[in-house]
């Protein structure tokens, strides 16, 4: 069946056209904003927040034992943010993801293992419930179920691309009392995953950023991950690790129209807590780029080492979809490690963001070829609340990896 004859695809196009016509009426948008703040521009009674997203996703590989995956879902987040009272503020947020049509996919919760995986199950959950205190100068203390996204989300992220995001039962302390410095110290007791399961763990962490004006940001971090579960998947004792790393990234103006971009990162990891396997592994990420005349070009490589005995450099809480290609072939590191050599080109034309990227994947010595991948993305935002986007990924597999095509079409609104 042709992709363009698919009913969910027609639905999202119709929704997008509706949004594009609706947002022209600014008074309507302003009325919604005002109503969500209970008629008070300063939100003195708090405010309602909601995020609505429709997505159609298609996952089609050459795997002979898997059927094509199709998913059409609507995700809603609905929350209430209280006003601040003597430094205290609270937030509660409900999240639900509902099928919007006849889905044929393995959501990792529906038991349909004959289909390709599209990990957006039909579930509902308490996504966030936290209390914060800002009564200490330059400091915020937040406790409860919350979204945590550190740095570029390579080690601890919220996996925001999926319909149900990842949140953490945790305490997070953010301090900015030192000039140009942000210190984040925290402890995670549980993680609520993208398939709405909850896993217990003990994860103390620290992330320190120092901003060098007009040059870039230096970051040092340490994460101690002790996962209690002995079950399979990324949340298990075999993924318990301690990681220590540093990075430097920035943008330097070269002329009025040209800027240089750069990122250098290294991390060292070893086993921790009840991990049954002793190991040591390294991580590298180098990137250089240039931004000129409304175009941004980047090239770099990211490497996660494999060290034998089935052990690799692991990032179990990463927003992994943002790295190593959008077809998600490498959500877990291959046994022989992973080296991703990539390049990308991005621009914006008449408010439309366009991005293309290419990845070449090998083991950490470049002796085993895993394949390569092309990614394309287009995104348009209407006013400040409405948007539509499309993504495409083509993975050309090698050494037993199957060719795969992925397509996404999404639209939504956020207040």
pLDDT in tens, 56-101: 999 999 999 999 999 999 999 999 999 999 999 999 999 999 999 8
- The total number of residues shown for the chain amounts to 415
| Structure confidence at residue 1 (pLDDT) | 39
- DSSP H/E element including 200: strand 198-212
Burial (CB count within 10 angstroms: exposed 0-12, middle 13-18, buried 19+), residue 399: exposed
| Structure confidence at residue 232 (pLDDT) | 60
Sequence-separated (6 or more) residues with CB below 8 Å from residue 154? 285, 315, 318, 319, 323
| Structure confidence at residue 237 (pLDDT) | 85
Cβ atoms 136, 287 nearer than 8 A: no
Residues of the chain whose pLDDT is less than 70? 1-25, 230-233
Fold topology of 70-381: Porin (2.40.160)
| Structure confidence at residue 4 (pLDDT) | 40
Give the integer Cα–Cα distance in Å for 244 and 179.
24
| Structure confidence at residue 15 (pLDDT) | 53
Domain boundaries, the chain: 70-381
- Dihedral angle sign, alpha carbons of residues 129, 323, 55, 52: positive
pTM for the model: 0.92
| Structure confidence at residue 383 (pLDDT) | 86
């Amino acid at each position: 069946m042709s992709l363009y004859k698919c009913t969910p695809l027609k639905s999202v196009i119709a929704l997008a056209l509706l949004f594009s016509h609706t947002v022209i009426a600014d008074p309507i948008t302003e009325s919604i904003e005002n109503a969500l703040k209970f008629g008070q521009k300063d939100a003195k009674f708090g405010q309602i927040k909601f995020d609505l997203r429709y997505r159609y996703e298609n996952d089609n590989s050459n795997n002979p034992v898997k059927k094509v995956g199709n998913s059409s879902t609507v995700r809603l987040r609905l929350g209430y943010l209280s006003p601040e009272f003597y430094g205290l503020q609270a937030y509660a947020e409900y999240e639900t993801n509902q099928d919007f049509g006849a889905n044929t996919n393995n959501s990792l919760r529906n038991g349909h293992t004959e289909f390709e995986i599209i990990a957006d199950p039909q579930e509902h959950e308490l996504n966030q419930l936290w209390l914060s205190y800002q009564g200490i100068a330059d400091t915020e203390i937040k406790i409860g179920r919350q979204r945590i996204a550190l740095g570029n989300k390579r080690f601890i992220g919220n996996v925001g691309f999926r319909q149900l995001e990842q949140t953490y039962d945790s305490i997070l302390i953010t301090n900015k009392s030192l000039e140009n410095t942000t210190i984040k110290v925290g402890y995670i007791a549980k993680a609520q995953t993208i398939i709405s399961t909850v896993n217990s763990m003990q994860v103390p962490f620290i992330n320190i950023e120092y901003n060098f004006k007009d040059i870039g940001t230096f970051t040092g971090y340490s994460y101690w991950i002790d996962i209690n579960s002995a079950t399979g998947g990324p949340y298990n004792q075999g993924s318990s690790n301690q990681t220590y790393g540093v990075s430097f990234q920035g943008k330097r103006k070269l002329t009025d129209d040209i800027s240089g971009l750069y990122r250098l990162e290294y991390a060292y990891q070893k086993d921790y807590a009840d991990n049954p396997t002793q190991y040591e592994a390294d991580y590298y990420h180098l990137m250089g780029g240039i931004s000129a005349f409304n175009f941004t070009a980047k090239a770099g490589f990211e490497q996660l080492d494999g060290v034998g005995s089935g052990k690799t450099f692991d990032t179990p809480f990463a927003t992994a979809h943002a790295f190593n290609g959008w077809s998600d072939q490498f959500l877990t590191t291959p046994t022989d490690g992973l080296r991703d050599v990539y390049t990308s080109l991005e621009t914006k034309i008449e408010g439309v963001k366009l991005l293309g990227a290419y990845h070449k994947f090998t083991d950490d010595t470049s002796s085993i070829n895993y394949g390569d991948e092309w990614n394309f993305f287009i995104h348009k935002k209407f006013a400040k609340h409405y948007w539509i986007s499309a993504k495409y990924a083509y993975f050309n597999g090698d050494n037993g990896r199957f060719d795969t095509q992925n397509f996404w079409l999404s639209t939504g609104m956020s207040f």
